Amino acid sequence: MNPAATTDPLAPFDAVMYVTYGGPNGPDDVLPFMRNATAGRGVPDDRLIEVAGHYQRFGGVSPINERNEELRAALAAELAARGSALPVVIGNRNWHPFIKDTLAALAAEGKRRILVLLASAYASYSGCRQYREDLGVAAAELAEAGIELTFAKARPYYTTPGFLAAATDATAAAWDDLVGGDSGSEDRAADSRIAFVTHSIPTSMNANAGPPDYVAQHLAVCEEIVARLHERLGYAPAWDLVYCSRSGPEHVPWLEPDINDHLSELAAGGAAGGDGAAGGATSGGGAVRGVVAVPMGFTSDHMEVVFDLDVEAAETAAELGLEYRRAATVGTDERFVSSLAHVVQEVAAAEQGQDVEAEPGDLGPWPARCRAGCCAAVRHPHAPAPRPTVCGAD
């Protein structure tokens, strides 16, 4: 028998683990989930209660778990089509299945080498190091029980051609819908804008996320999508990068503007609040009539998308008399899933000692193994000792 023919392309790994935030599955889950999500993170009680209300409005069910399962299944199918028999499993930071429980279940099946794919396409403490710490803590607890696991993780994937292609098509579809018709009338387009939206983070966390920092990572995607739209439409839509889901105490600066403040400013004909002006694309000083919100910071329809954008920002737009569309998230677009499979395969190829090539069209790949200080936590004076991590130099 030829051993090469039976070798899994993802060898020497035993499993692929999609590591995500998690969310409640029913009304009784909401409060304990919120306590997990806010524990020791300086989120004020009134914010906890407010966000719990967002979940209860949806019957206590976050869409995240169903979306994650869809992506898990799509990625498993894509990896299987590429010849891998590895299981693809989910582990969450804040709700079942918890990271530690998933790892224990894998270990019980004799699986020891775990290839990790993080839910965030972008690097930041919340989207990168905090997950590496969650894994590090779980691994340390399992090690105490005599279970030794090893980990390697896929790199941030906002630069991948599949993510960019899917996000561009979603933006184009919502733009066409707003401005009317295939390429839209340029008149209609002139008083419409794109609001690219991502999760706000504290400005101190932004600075530690790079280089390129969190904002710069997002701007690279905005600029790429707008350049592709320019090619398709013959003109470049005006755009801004704005934020949603700010939490934390009032006195701590977070990335701004919030999407709702941004919409108010646009309706009033004020200056663009975001970063698009720096890209040279502005619609002049006039009031804006229509806005396309593009949730490019989220890969699927999380609560931030279905509440913060589809309910709250949509209501703000309606009150202001703005036409409003929300572009689809990339979800399980097959080009996106294919790029995810590619970044997963990059990890195995590196482990096998092969030269690892990014997909053609990648905007500039990140290293898979985090450098020292990558996405460093912002240390508070009374913060507990740093947590153990995996998948990096520190």
Ligand X SMILES: CC1=C(CCC(=O)O)c2cc3nc(cc4[nH]c(cc5[nH]c(cc1n2)c(C)c5CCC(=O)O)c(CCC(=O)O)c4C)C(CCC(=O)O)=C3C
> Among Fe ion, ligand X, none, what binds residue 41 when CB lies within 5 to 8 Å by partner kind?
ligand X
Rg (CA), the chain: 21
Q: Considering the complex, what minimum distance in angstroms separates the CB of residue 243 from Fe ion?
A: 20
* In the complex, minimum distance from the CB of residue 106 to ligand X, in angstroms, rounded to a whole number: 21
Tokens matching residue 261: 């403040």
Residue 8 burial (CB count, 10 A): 14
- Identify the residue among 13, 14, 17, 23 touching ligand X (CB under 6 A): 23
Q: Which residues, 94 to 123, sit near ligand X by CB under 6 A?
A: 119-120
Question: Assign residue 223 a region: left if phi > 0, alpha if psi is -120 to 50, beta otherwise?
Answer: alpha
| Alpha-carbon distances of 337 from 73, 90, 379, rounded to whole Å | 10, 16, 35
> Would you tell me how many other CB atoms lie within 10 Å of the CB of residue 194?
29
- Between the alpha carbon of residue 119 and those of residues 124, 320, 340, the distances in Å are 12, 34, 11
Residue with smaller CB distance to Fe ion, 135 or 370:
370
User: Would you count residue 124 as binding ligand X (CB under 6 A)?
Assistant: yes
Number of residues that bind ligand X (CB under 6 A): 24
Task: Provide the sign of the torsion angle of the four alpha carbons 21, 159, 210, 138, taken in this order.
Answer: positive
Name the residue nearer to ligand X (CB basis): 63 or 212. Answer: 63
Where is the binding site, in residues?
21, 62, 131, 199, 304
**Given 3-state DSSP classes, what are the helix, strand and coil percentages for the chain, each rounded to the nearest 5?**
45, 15, 40
Under the binding rule (CB under 6 A), the answer on residue 192 touching ligand X is no
The verdict on 379 binding ligand X (CB under 6 A) reads no
Q: Give the footprint of ligand X on residues 39-78 (CB under 6 A).
A: 41, 43, 47, 51, 62-64
323 phi and psi angles, rounded to 5 deg = -75, 145
The footprint of Fe ion (CB under 5 A) covers 123, 128, 370, 374-375
Options 15, 16, 30, 37; binder of ligand X; rule CB under 6 A: 37
Q: Is 302 in the site for ligand X (CB under 6 A)?
A: yes
Q: State the binding partner of 370 from Fe ion, ligand X, none, CB within 5 to 8 A by kind.
A: Fe ion
| Residue 260 makes contact with ligand X by CB under 6 A | no
Q: Is the Cβ of residue 245 or residue 283 nearer to ligand X in the bound state?
A: 245
- DSSP string spanning 304-325? IIIIIIIIIIHHHHHHHT-EEE
**Token reading at 147:** 């279970």
Reduced to 3 states (helix: H, G, I; strand: E, B; else coil), residue 4 is helix
Task: Using CB under 6 A, pick the residue from 303, 337, 340, 358 that binds ligand X.
Answer: 303
Least distance from ligand X to the Cβ atom of residue 252, Å:
10
Q: Return residues touching ligand X (CB under 6 A).
A: 21, 23, 37-38, 41, 43, 47, 51, 62-64, 119-120, 124, 126-127, 199, 201, 245, 247-248, 302-304
